[in-house]
Amino acid sequence: MARITMREAISQALMEEMDRDPSVFIMGEEVGVWGGTYAVTKGFYDKYGPERVKDTPIAENAIVGGAIGAAMVGQRPIAELMTINFAFSAMDYIVNQAPKLHYMFGGQIKVPMVIRAVGGGGRQLGATHSQTPDVIFAHFPGLKVVSPGTPEDAKGLLKSAIRSDDPIFFIENATMYQVRGEVPEGEYTTPIGVSKVQRSGNDVTIVTYAKGLELSMKAADQLAKEGIQAEIVDLRTLRPLDMGPVLESFKKTNRAVIVEEGWKSYGVGAEITSRIYEEAFDYIDAPILRVAQKEVPLPYNRTLEQSALPQVPDIVAAVKEVMK
């Protein structure tokens, strides 16, 4: 096992897949000469050249639409959106074109592409550059939405996404790039659409993913000191959603808290809660609570911004509430 950062894990996944399959190429803003605005593709331009690491103009429709066209005729493009906030500029291609083409044409056309986008708040970038709109994309059948919380999962899931024949939206988090974690040596992939128990416990189930995982693990450490053992189920994929481990955990603990960085209304927590209610009604011993971003656009001021984002004490408080 090697201990590497999330950034290194994603970078390795990209390189390994580009080495393995010549039809894989990257296109996006500043991915080439600049080396990527989050340095994920640093060194790629020199190694693979401008044919395989393509700097595009600032034109998201051309980036995502172009990737769709290239995928349709047999290549495996990875389109990069500099931030997930710019996904809205290519909305039609992400949710109305890519997920529909295989279905509408009776299975005759495939779109084997990955869209990588970086999301999340907490860096004082202002309201339009700080969003976590993951659920919007998870709403559409035909698209797969993946968002890892550990370097091991990031590398394994990205490799699976690149090899998949379906269009996949791969969401990364800007404040997690330097998070370190153990990653297996050698070749491995992680299956898409499989949730994972990242920490075992008998008292309460915390369901989360991506940034929420980082926060929940810290909260669980604190709770353990107070004698509460939290079990953390990491979704890893938002669509298709794997409720198996979530329900198994809930049937054991009977209490749940859902942690997400996005806003609470109409969010991931709303979906999980609803499914627990439908499929494990008799196991509910307390209302299911959601820890999420406060319902405001994110402000610039550092303190205000942090007060709007979900934090470890919020998770600890929510767990204690459901334990009552």
Partner 1 sequence: MAEIINMPKLGFDMAEGVLIEWAKQEGETVEIGDVLADIETDKVTVEIESTVAGTILRLLVNQGDVVPVTAPIVIIGEPGEEVDLPVPDDSESSVEADVDTPIIESAPEPPRQTQDMPAPVISAGTSHQQEKVKASPLAKKVARDKNVDLREIVGTGPGGRIVRRDVEAAVASGQESASLSAPAFSAISREDKIVPLTKLRQAIARRLVEVNQEVPQFFVTHEYKMEAVMEMRAQINSILPEGEKLSVNDFIVKAVALALREFPNLNASLEGDKVIQHGTINVGNAVAVEGGLLTVVSKNADQKTLRQISMEVKNMATQVRAGKIKPEDIEGSTFSISNLGMFDVEHFIAIINPPEAAILAVGSALEVPVVEDGEIKVGWRMKATISVDHRISDGAEAAQFMQALARYLEKPLLLVV
Partner 2 sequence: MNKEKQLQMYREMVLIRRLEKRGAELYQDGKIGGFMHLYIGQEAVSTGIIAARESRDRVITAYRDHGVALNCGISANEVMAELLGKATGMSKGKGGSMHMADPDKNMWGGHAIVGGHLPIASGMALGDQYAGNDNVTICMFGEGATNIGYFHEALNLAKIWGLRVLWVCENNEYGMGTAVERASAVSEIRQKAEGYGMKNSSVNGRDVLKVHNAAKEALDYVRSNSQPYLLEVETYRLRGHSMGDPERYRTQDEVLKRKENEPIRTFRKQLLSKKTATAKKLDAIDAEVDVEVQKSVEFAESSPEPAPEALWENVYVEQGEI
Binding site for partner 2 (CB under 8 A): 23, 25, 51, 54, 56-57, 59-62, 64-75, 77, 92-93, 96-97, 101-110, 112, 141-142, 144, 164-166, 193, 240, 242
Q: Using CB distances below 5 to 8 A depending on partner kind, what does residue 254 bind out of partner 2, partner 1, none?
A: partner 1
CA separation for the pair 186, 152 (Å, rounded) = 12
Footprint (CB under 8 A) of partner 1, residues 238-277: 254
Contact map string, positions 283 to 302, toward partner 1, x by CB under 8 A: xxxx----------------
For 61, other C-beta atoms within 10 Å of its C-beta total 13
Contact map string, positions 101 to 140, toward partner 1, x by CB under 8 A: ----------------------------------------
Q: Using CB distances below 5 to 8 A depending on partner kind, what does residue 227 bind out of partner 1, partner 2, none?
A: none
DSSP string, 63-99: HHHHHHHHHHTT-EEEEEESSGGGGGGGHIIIIIITT
- Judged by phi (left if over 0) then psi (alpha if -120 to 50, else beta), residue 221 lies in alpha
Q: Is 88 in the site for partner 1 (CB under 8 A)?
A: no
Nearer to partner 1, 52 or 275 (CB): 275
CA separation for the pair 202, 78 (Å, rounded) = 41
Q: Is 282 in the site for partner 1 (CB under 8 A)?
A: yes
For 218, other C-beta atoms within 10 Å of its C-beta total 14
Q: Using CB distances below 5 to 8 A depending on partner kind, what does residue 165 bind out of partner 1, partner 2, none?
A: partner 2
CA separation for the pair 9, 49 (Å, rounded) = 21
Nearest to 292 by CA among 169, 223, 209: 209
For 221, other C-beta atoms within 10 Å of its C-beta total 13
Please list the active-site residues: 60, 129
Length of the chain (residues): 324
Q: How far is the CB of 275 from partner 1 (least distance, A)?
A: 15
Nearer to partner 2, 61 or 274 (CB): 61
Decide if 312 contacts 319 (C-beta within 8 A). no
Q: Using CB distances below 5 to 8 A depending on partner kind, what does residue 74 bind out of partner 2, partner 1, none?
A: partner 2
Nearer to partner 1, 243 or 322 (CB): 322
Nearer to partner 1, 64 or 258 (CB): 258
* 315 Cβ neighbours under 8 A, 6+ residues apart: 206, 215, 216, 219, 257, 259, 291
Nearest to 141 by CA among 74, 241, 60: 241
Contact map string, positions 206 to 245, toward partner 1, x by CB under 8 A: ----------------------------------------
Q: Using CB distances below 5 to 8 A depending on partner kind, what does residue 324 bind out of partner 2, partner 1, none?
A: partner 1
Decide if 164 contacts 111 (C-beta within 8 A). no
Which residues contact partner 1 by CB under 8 A? 254, 281-286, 321, 324
